[in-house]
Chain A
Amino acid sequence: MTRPKLLALRVAVAVVLIAMWHVGSTVRIPAGVVSAKAVFPLDPFFFSTPLAVFERTWRDFASGVIWYHLGVTLLETVLAFVIGAVGGVLIGFWFARQHTVAAVFDPYVKAANALPRVVLAPIFALWLGLGIWSKVALGVTLVFFIVFFNVYQGVKEVSPTVLANARMLGMSERQLLRHVYWPSALTWVFSSLHTAVGFALVGAVVGEYLGSAAGLGYRIQQAEGVFDVAGVFSGMLVLAVFVILIDAGVSAIENRLLAWRPAAVAERP
């Protein structure tokens, strides 16, 4: 499929969905068809209307209030991602190279990863306050494990022949780390990067939602508190666009760094 055609189809999906939402929330079904009174298929009280949501979003950007909250969420996301990814890479490498360490900590790593992160949010708020760091911590617990497991896998799954060849070509342990293990782990990290970035954002937004004074999650929570459905949907819209932009950035970096991969693997569905 050509790119313009793909783009057109993607836009068409959004247009159809929004049109259905618009019609459903503005055109009543006449009385006597499904109930005695005339009703909206999508009651605007619960679903708002696309126009109201766009209008609200426009107003937030025009007045400038949203920028501050976006900035806070972006900062939390970036911090959570960087700290989680660096930690995941370092510890993933360490575990993959030290069999004893990996064997000893294995059950604890699994247990920690299985813990639902939402239960941690109040604890982080208690420890780190209601500022950005409790949200960053929540994001880190999500990002860390994704990157950790992928680096661990990447180092473990290096082809034994490639490894033997590298050794025979005179590489020292350090050079193996740099020229073989690292590039191999990097592919795995990148295959998980989209998920990891997404989770960094989830950590930030959930943390804000559960208790803070700034950020997109806070905005959504505030709107929900007063049954301002247009405000909630507007927050989700901004969040969605935000995710797509970040994801496009990740794809661009990925394509540059992983040019050596066969196209069938490099191309994401």
Chain B
Amino acid sequence: MGVVAAQVPLGTALTGSAVTLAGLRIAFPAPRRREPPFTAVDGVDLEVATGEFVAIVGPTGCGKSTLLNAAAGLLVPSAGRVAIFGEPLAGLNRRAGYLFQADALLPWRTALDNVAVGLEVAGVPTGEARARARGWLDRVGLAAFLQRYPHMLSGGQRKRVGLAQVLIRDPEILLMDEPFGPLDALTRQFMGNLLLELWGAARKAVLFVTHDLEEAIALADRVVIMGAGPAARIIGEWRVELPRPRDIAEVRLEPDFHRLYRDIWSTLRDEVAKTYARGEGPL
């Protein structure tokens, strides 16, 4: 494994933790009464240090979005605790920006006004908010689409507007839920590099959800793998010590990248096999 990939023990405490999830369980009430509640995730311990980029990878439906919602304060955990910069989270997480998996732009606002809205509601004068929004749309490559309404944009363009909308508020923590999901391979690379560039400049704590292991390794400082639900857990964590600054496309060609990828995969396979053997598999 060498210096590149070192498997870290679960729940390692890091100094200067931005997000702490400890012993987290989230259960949803069953649609019908009398049935037991559905436990989406259980016993999740996860820390994101300040300035750290953590990627969560897991099969669809395992509870990745659920974890982000808990970190955002949109979901109250059934058990365990959420702390933000060491303080227990009560209500919404005001220090985080959240890029949602589903379409979340305001459909009645143009791209420009969607990006500006976060500043406007914070009391920034409209003129200044718009000027800064223009700058951000320029950075995500949408300078020519300022006046488009969301329904006139492609899925990928909407995601980029969403990214600008979140980043313009300069949150200390960034929660991203499969942000590059609907993008084509080239735009994905463009967006990945853009994200790394922006992150490199301002070193926010990032919790990045994806189902793409390669993307996770290419972007993150640490990759966290979740098992299949229900009651999904974290089944492994790997530190990614590839040098930065990285280029998403080129980093994939490095031998260390491959070694780490294979390593994670083999553990993942074993873990899934074990889960099946215990009869707790997704079936």
Evaluate contact between B151 and A168: CB separation under 8 angstroms: no
The verdict on A165 contacting B100 (CB below 8 Å), with A170-B169, A179-B106, A260-B149 known, is: yes
Number of interface residues of B (CB under 8 A): 28
Number of interface residues of A (CB under 8 A): 22
- Expressed in whole angstroms, the minimum distance between the Cβ of B153 and any Cβ of chain A is 12
Evaluate contact between A179 and B117: CB separation under 8 angstroms: yes
Q: Roughly how many angstroms separate A184 CA and B117 CA in the complex, as a whole number?
A: 16
| Chain A 91-130: CB-based contact to B (< 8 A → 1; otherwise 0) | 0000000000000000000000000000000000000000
The verdict on A165 contacting B104 (CB below 8 Å), with A260-B109, A260-B151, A262-B151 known, is: yes
The verdict on A172 contacting B121 (CB below 8 Å), with A161-B100, A261-B151 known, is: yes
Q: Roughly how many angstroms separate A126 CA and B32 CA in the complex, as a whole number?
A: 52
Interface residues of B in 205-240 (CB under 8 A from A): none
Number of residue pairs A-B, CB distance < 8 angstroms:
65
The verdict on A171 contacting B121 (CB below 8 Å), with A161-B100, A165-B98, A260-B149 known, is: yes
Q: Determine, out of B89-97, B128-136, B264-272, the stretch whose residues face the partner at the interface.
A: B89-97
Q: Which residue of A lies closest to B72 (CB)?
A: A168
The verdict on A168 contacting B98 (CB below 8 Å), with A180-B106, A260-B108 known, is: yes
Evaluate contact between A175 and B72: CB separation under 8 angstroms: no
Evaluate contact between A183 and B121: CB separation under 8 angstroms: no
Evaluate contact between A164 and B104: CB separation under 8 angstroms: yes
Evaluate contact between B105 and A169: CB separation under 8 angstroms: no
The verdict on A183 contacting B74 (CB below 8 Å), with A172-B121, A260-B151 known, is: no
| Chain B 62-94: CB-based contact to A (< 8 A → 1; otherwise 0) | 000000000010100000000000000000111
Tell me if B59 counts as interface (CB < 8 A to partner A): no
Interface centre among A169, A171, A260, A261, by most B CB within 10 Å? A169
| Chain A 152-177: CB-based contact to B (< 8 A → 1; otherwise 0) | 00000001011011111111100100
The verdict on A164 contacting B100 (CB below 8 Å), with A169-B118, A183-B108 known, is: yes
Tell me if B283 counts as interface (CB < 8 A to partner A): no
- Expressed in whole angstroms, the minimum distance between the Cβ of A89 and any Cβ of chain B is 17
Q: Roughly how many angstroms separate A187 CA and B103 CA in the complex, as a whole number?
A: 19
Interface residues of B in 107-157 (CB under 8 A from A): 107-110, 117-118, 121-122, 149-151
Evaluate contact between A168 and B96: CB separation under 8 angstroms: yes
Chain B residues near A261 (CB, 8 Å)? Answer: 107, 151
Chain B residues near A171 (CB, 8 Å)? Answer: 121
The verdict on A162 contacting B122 (CB below 8 Å), with A167-B92, A170-B169 known, is: no
Chain B residues near A180 (CB, 8 Å)? Answer: 106
Evaluate contact between B103 and A161: CB separation under 8 angstroms: yes
Q: Roughly how many angstroms separate A162 CA and B74 CA in the complex, as a whole number?
A: 13
Tell me if B165 counts as interface (CB < 8 A to partner A): yes
- Expressed in whole angstroms, the minimum distance between the Cβ of A49 and any Cβ of chain B is 51
- 18 A-B pairs within 8 Å (CB atoms) are namely A159-B103, A161-B103, A162-B106, A164-B72, A164-B98, A164-B100, A164-B104, A167-B74, A167-B92, A168-B93, A169-B165, A170-B169, A171-B121, A179-B121, A183-B106, A260-B110, A260-B150, A261-B151
The residues of B with any CB-CB pair to A shorter than 8 Å are: 72, 74, 92-94, 96-98, 100, 102-110, 117-118, 121-122, 149-151, 165-166, 169
The residues of A with any CB-CB pair to B shorter than 8 Å are: 159, 161-162, 164-172, 175, 179-180, 183-184, 187, 259-262
The 7 closest A-B pairs by CB, nearest first: A165-B104, A260-B149, A169-B118, A183-B108, A168-B98, A161-B102, A262-B151
